[in-house]
């Protein structure tokens, strides 16, 4: 199928996709190699929710990522690895080399007893072996569950147990900027709570001494000696599970979002090529970690299905200094660059001295993902990185959507600062009012929902379909509800406003307020807590926690440190509260419900207009909270 090449072409594709969705998606799916063609395009129902795509079809995504490219592009670089340390040698894996390594590691998995359908947890550094292990799972039909290597032992254990993983793949340790993290030791701690795990495969990355449990642990490099590289791709039913990825929602426990083989591959392939207007010689760099959905869809699967070069970066934007991104673009002649607003804002704050030394002429397209990008950051990105000649694609999507849903197509459809733009062909967003009625027309604002399925939409939350229904299909019956608020401008371009539920987005990472509260409440001196988001210059949103202790702490700073440690051990450092205010009570209704609106306003510093507080159980508490507000 040809990529969309003009605005007229987009309008035409969009029209076709609405008039005859099944014919449209059949054509899109035909761009991939299928082992057997599907018998029916889709069957779905949003009330109660069920959804299937390319029913009866057989496919293996790794054949589309690897085998199909060998003949024509076997020597083309598939993965280009830039290590944390800028002086380390660059690693390049061609499509042929990656194919061989994936097949060999797939045989390692089989040798260790991994079978089709088994769940495998990956807790790895951002090194090519993470990509290899992920693809190896997909090769043999094992379900990968990648957990970002920043989550704590407790968080890993919860995820392993929730999806009943019997296998873990990890490394001795990782480097991220100046920090090192002892991955194997964290896994060892997690596995004390995971009796179901009977094999751990350990990749030696930094050469640390680690404890090896002989009955359970094997070394990656030893295992590779025992296998050959012949591993045919398992024919997967289109609706077999490809992966589980945990994400936070408004309830306390993260949920395992399930994506299936055929629909996910189809939509990721289509959206990737069109949004970024991919050309065969692109050197494409997505800075996300494979531990997040962006890394799954647009660092690994999308670029490899396209047969282009995908850059994989182990480090962070600010180490050894704030010029690292720009130096890597210069060094590898990156043509498409996809990053998060947080990174842009933090680098913008460091000044142009870190940008100017580098040659950024190779850049052709810039992308943004994960949170709203403010106009100032958008312009800085456009002017100083794109030199006013690279279109910016502001891509709105979610772990649950599998792929980009609303975004301009680079250089093809209109791009406007802080606006994601038009929906991709096949995607039917609507704005709803409080009562779930569709808001028609432009220049309108409402709750963002989707009224028709698309191939890569969430199939279920692992092990609990009712939770999936409740979370996404019960707020507005008959629609997939995104949890986001949005505005449609006078030309129909969508602008995302932010979450309208109890989810906060910190540096593009999602946390449920309840999830952080649960973590804080593990501290034995804490009676209750309430967490809200507030605007943060760099992170987009910061975490503001109101905490009630059994007695007012005489050393608040020490207590704060203890709370950080508690959150660190329950979730990980990424969920560290930015501000902790000790309070003697929380604003509650007479029935005991916390009024978060008041807490949010205080955290935002908008204390003059708190609305009616007379119905509160204890109106005086609001005064106390305002007096103690942290700036
Ligand atoms: O609130 C939206 C925000 O991130 C949420 C999805 O988070 P997650 O599943 O972790 O996926 C992040 C990467 C796709 C959304 O509900 N979000 C994501 N992209 C944008 C965005 N908000 C505004 N503009 C975006 N481009």
The CA 58 to ligand 1 mean position distance, Å, reads 31
Is residue 1 scored above 80 in pLDDT?
no
Is residue 612 scored above 90 in pLDDT?
no
- Mean per-residue pLDDT, 133-144: 99
Q: Where are the alpha helices (DSSP H) in 535-593?
A: 556-570
Q: Tens of pLDDT along 408-444?
A: 999 999 999 999 999 999 999 999 999 999 999 999 9
How high is the pLDDT of residue 615?
A: 82
How high is the pLDDT of residue 372?
A: 94
Is residue 2 scored above 80 in pLDDT?
no
Q: Is 479 exposed, middle or buried (0-12, 13-18, 19+ CB in 10 A)?
A: buried
Q: Which residues line ligand 1 (CB under 6 A)?
A: 247, 293-294, 369-372, 394-399, 420, 482-484, 496, 499, 505, 510
- Rounded to whole angstroms, the Cα distance separating 64 from 305 reads 5
How high is the pLDDT of residue 251?
A: 79
How high is the pLDDT of residue 54?
A: 98
The CA 497 to ligand 1 mean position distance, Å, reads 11
- Rounded to whole angstroms, the Cα distance separating 337 from 85 reads 20
Which residue minimizes the CA distance to atom 4 of ligand 1? 370
Kindly state the tokens that stand for 493.
Answer: 């371009």
Judged by DSSP in three states, 31 sits in: coil
Site to probe by mutation for ligand 1, drawn from 370, 378, 481, 502 as the one with most ligand atoms within 8 Å of Cβ, is 370
Question: What proportion of the chain, given as a percentage, has pLDDT over 70?
Answer: 100
Judged by DSSP in three states, 494 sits in: strand
Judged by DSSP in three states, 125 sits in: coil
Is residue 609 scored above 80 in pLDDT?
yes
Could you identify the atom of ligand 1 that is nearest to the CA of residue 420?
26
Is residue 346 scored above 80 in pLDDT?
yes
How high is the pLDDT of residue 628?
A: 95
- Rounded to whole angstroms, the Cα distance separating 346 from 539 reads 8
Is residue 250 scored above 90 in pLDDT?
no
The CA 89 to ligand 1 mean position distance, Å, reads 34
Could you identify the atom of ligand 1 that is nearest to the CA of residue 406?
26
Contact 108, 223 (CB under 8 A): yes
The CA 363 to ligand 1 mean position distance, Å, reads 24
Contact 294, 150 (CB under 8 A): no
Contact 236, 261 (CB under 8 A): yes
Tell me the pLDDT band of 591, cut-offs 50, 70 and 90: confident
The CA 199 to ligand 1 mean position distance, Å, reads 35
Could you identify the atom of ligand 1 that is nearest to the CA of residue 510?
10
The CA 622 to ligand 1 mean position distance, Å, reads 32
Is residue 374 scored above 80 in pLDDT?
yes
Kindly state the tokens that stand for 557.
Answer: 């700073």
Which residue minimizes the CA distance to atom 3 of ligand 1? 371
Specify the fold of 503-627: GMP Synthetase; Chain A, domain 3 (3.30.300)
Contact 545, 508 (CB under 8 A): no
Site to probe by mutation for ligand 1, drawn from 397, 402, 456 as the one with most ligand atoms within 8 Å of Cβ, is 397
Site to probe by mutation for ligand 1, drawn from 257, 342, 398 as the one with most ligand atoms within 8 Å of Cβ, is 398
Mean pLDDT for the chain overall: 97
Q: Tens of pLDDT along 161-210?
A: 999 999 999 999 999 999 999 999 999 999 999 999 999 999 999 999 99
- Mean per-residue pLDDT, 291-309: 98
Which residue minimizes the CA distance to atom 8 of ligand 1? 398
Question: What proportion of the chain, given as a percentage, has pLDDT over 90?
Answer: 95
Is residue 252 scored above 90 in pLDDT?
no
Contact residues for 428 (Cβ-Cβ < 8 A; gap 6+):
18, 450, 451, 452
DSSP, residue by residue, 366-379: EEEESSPPPHHHHH
The CA 371 to ligand 1 mean position distance, Å, reads 5
- Mean per-residue pLDDT, 387-398: 98
Kindly state the tokens that stand for 291.
Answer: 């531990």
The CA 605 to ligand 1 mean position distance, Å, reads 25
User: Which residue's structure tokens are 């967490």?
Assistant: 531
- Mean per-residue pLDDT, 88-92: 98
The CA 249 to ligand 1 mean position distance, Å, reads 13
Angle, alpha carbons 256-260-265 (nearest 5°): 125
The CA 348 to ligand 1 mean position distance, Å, reads 21
Contact residues for 470 (Cβ-Cβ < 8 A; gap 6+):
none
Which residue minimizes the CA distance to atom 24 of ligand 1? 372
Site to probe by mutation for ligand 1, drawn from 243, 480, 510, 541 as the one with most ligand atoms within 8 Å of Cβ, is 510
Q: Is 27 exposed, middle or buried (0-12, 13-18, 19+ CB in 10 A)?
A: middle
- Rounded to whole angstroms, the Cα distance separating 106 from 229 reads 9
């Amino acid at each position: 199928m040809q990529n969309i090449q003009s605005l007229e072409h987009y309008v035409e594709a969009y029209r076709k996709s609405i008039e005859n969705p099944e014919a449209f998606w059949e054509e899109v799916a035909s761009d991939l190699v299928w082992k057997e063609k599907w018998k029916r395009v889709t069957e779905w129902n949003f009330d109660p929710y069920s959804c299937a795509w390319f029913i009866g079809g057989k496919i293996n995504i790794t054949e589309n990522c690897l085998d199909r490219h060998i003949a024509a592009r076997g020597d083309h670089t598939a993965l280009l690895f830039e290590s944390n340390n800028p002086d380390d040698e660059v690693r390049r894996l061609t499509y042929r080399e990656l194919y061989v390594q994936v097949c060999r590691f797939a045989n390692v998995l089989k040798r260790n007893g991994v079978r089709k359908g088994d769940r495998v947890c990956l807790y790895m550094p951002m090194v090519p072996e993470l990509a290899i292990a992920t693809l190896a799972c997909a090769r043999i039909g094992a379900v990968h569950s990648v957990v970002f290597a920043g989550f704590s032992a407790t968080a890993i254990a919860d995820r392993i147990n929730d999806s009943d993983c019997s296998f873990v793949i990890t490394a001795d340790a990782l480097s991220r900027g100046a920090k090192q993290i002892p991955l194997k030791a964290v896994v060892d701690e997690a596995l004390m709570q995971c009796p179901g795990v009977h094999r751990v495969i350990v990749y030696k990355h930094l050469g640390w001494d680690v404890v090896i449990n002989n009955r359970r642990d094997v070394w990656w490099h030893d295992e590779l000696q025992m296998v050959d590289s012949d591993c045919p791709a398992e024919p997967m039913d289109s609706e077999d599970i490809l992966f589980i990825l945990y994400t936070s929602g408004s309830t306390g426990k993260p949920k395992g979002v399930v994506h299936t083989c055929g629909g996910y591959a189809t939509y990721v392939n289509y959206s990737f090529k069109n949004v970024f207007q991919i050309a065969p010689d692109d050197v494409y760099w997505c800075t996300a970690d494979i531990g997040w959905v962006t890394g799954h869809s647009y660092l690994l699967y999308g670029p490899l299905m396209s047969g282009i070069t995908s850059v994989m970066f182990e480090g962070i934007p600010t180490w050894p200094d704030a010029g690292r991104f720009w130096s890597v673009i210069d060094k590898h002649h990156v043509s498409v660059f996809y990053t998060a607003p947080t990174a842009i804002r933090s680098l913008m704050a460091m000044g142009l001295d870190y940008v100017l030394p580098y040659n950024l002429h190779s850049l052709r397209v810039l992308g943004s993902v994960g949170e709203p990008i403010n106009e100032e950051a958008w312009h800085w990105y456009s002017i100083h990185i794109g030199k006013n000649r690279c279109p910016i694609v502001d891509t709105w999507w979610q772990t649950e959507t599998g792929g980009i849903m609303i975004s301009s197509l680079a250089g093809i459809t209109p791009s406007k600062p802080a606006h994601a733009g038009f929906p991709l062909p096949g995607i039917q967003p609507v704005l709803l009012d409080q009562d779930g009625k569709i808001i028609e027309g432009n220049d309108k604002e409402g709750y963002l929902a989707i009224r028709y399925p698309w191939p890569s939409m969430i199939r279920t939350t692992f092990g609990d379909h009712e939770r999936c229904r409740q979370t996404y299909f019960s707020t507005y019956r008959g629609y997939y509800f995104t949890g986001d608020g949005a505005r449609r401008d006078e030309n129909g371009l969508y602008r995302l406003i932010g979450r309208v539920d109890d989810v906060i987005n910190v540096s593009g990472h999602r946390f449920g307020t309840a999830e952080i509260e649960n973590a804080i409440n593990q501290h034995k001196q804490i009676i209750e807590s309430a967490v809200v988001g507030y605007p943060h210059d760099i992170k987009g949103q910061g975490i503001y926690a109101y905490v009630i202790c059994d007695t007012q702490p005489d050393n608040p700073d020490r207590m704060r440190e203890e709370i950080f440690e508690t959150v660190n051990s329950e979730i990980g450092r990424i969920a560290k509260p930015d501000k902790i205010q000790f309070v003697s009570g929380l604003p509650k209704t007479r029935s005991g419900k916390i009024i978060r609106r008041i807490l949010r306003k205080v955290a935002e510093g908008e204390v003059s207009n708190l609305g009616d507080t007379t119905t509160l159980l204890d109106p005086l508490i609001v005064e106390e909270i305002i007096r103690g507000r942290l700036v």
